[in-house]
Chains A and B, each alone.
Chain A
């Protein structure tokens, strides 16, 4: 039991993100309304973004902006240690992913508007009935 607690404490970030991700997945599977499914998809994306960002974290490190040299006049002979700055790569990947997720969410909402305009509903079971009527 104490082993399990120790495991969770060391990796609690992953546990939280997986729980968040599963909330999003459940919303995508079980909810009937298309907008609620979209919200579930966004929760899922947020969990993945948090997961990536947490991978880049290092204990005792600071932001990935080199300090004390804001003119770019070489490094003043000071050696930059990789352990002093957190990993910039996940931040880069997620920076673009956030904006692209907003843009794709916009497209998904546009599709929902079109569906609503044509069938007057966003509920999945009603949509299925309307589609079978045609």
Chain B
């Protein structure tokens, strides 16, 4: 099987390498990919949308449908992870620590209820004391990462950035919290309900802006029709519409990243993980 696979790979690679002879040279400005639609985008986007970042303008305006369904795909991926892995059954073995004495309790009977609070504390099965250096550095870093993520989302129209990138940065800051402390610390601050609602809200903001444009008399996702809503700055209405859409994308991507991480590391139990 390995040898056969190697032969197949060599044949395919040889054919593809032979095919590169017909492809344009690297960086050739006259290559077919860079001459037809691309020229139109570069020369007309600024006057049509007033957004200097061409990537964001194409992403959120010219290819708005594509991005909307990509967001829906990301949402569905989060949903699939949840449905595949989420496990609501109570665990048989639970570990608690009696805080005043430091004694560990191993509870095997699922009937017994111990409410974690001032006296008892939930413990992971393989509990390792978190390193103070890692905890402190992460505690200081996480707010800055999150502000940077918000910056990336908010300035997506004018500088490199956008909803996808900002959402991933924000989500990774939350994942960093789960890694540096433990999963329970994250789930206490960012509950599952919160994440699910946010993932749906992001998609809803995107679709809602499209429907709003329809209500205002335009076509679906035609941000130009939203101008009466912002009378103080109607010239930038397309940039503002794109910003709204990017915020939706960012929220959805952030929530889905965390949902996927949490479900995979804890095998759907949401109690302990990496």
Contacts and interface: CB of A to CB of B under 8 A. Distances in A.
Interface of A: 7, 10-15, 18-19, 21-22, 25-26, 29-30, 54-61, 63-67, 69-70, 72, 74-75, 80-92, 95-96, 98-100, 102-104, 106-107, 109-111, 113-114, 117
B177 interface: no
B235 to A, nearest CB: 7
B23 to A, nearest CB: 6
Most chain B CB within a 10 A radius of its CB, from A15, A18, A86, A110: A110
B236 interface: yes
A14 B18 CA distance: 11
Q: Could you say which of B33, B37, B168 has the most chain A C-beta atoms within 10 Å of its C-beta?
A: B33
Contact of A89 (B50, B58, B78): B58
Given A11-B25, A80-B46, A107-B77, A99 B33 contact: no
Interface in B228-272: 235-236, 239, 253, 256-257, 260-261, 263-264, 267-268
12 contacts: A26-B9, A30-B1, A63-B160, A65-B52, A75-B46, A87-B42, A100-B73, A102-B168, A102-B257, A110-B263, A113-B264, A114-B85
Contact of B59 (A15, A95, A102): A95
User: Sorted from nearest, which 4 A-B pairs have the closest CB atoms?
Assistant: A72-B50, A103-B77, A106-B260, A29-B5
Interface stretch (B62-70, B115-123, B135-143, B190-198): B62-70
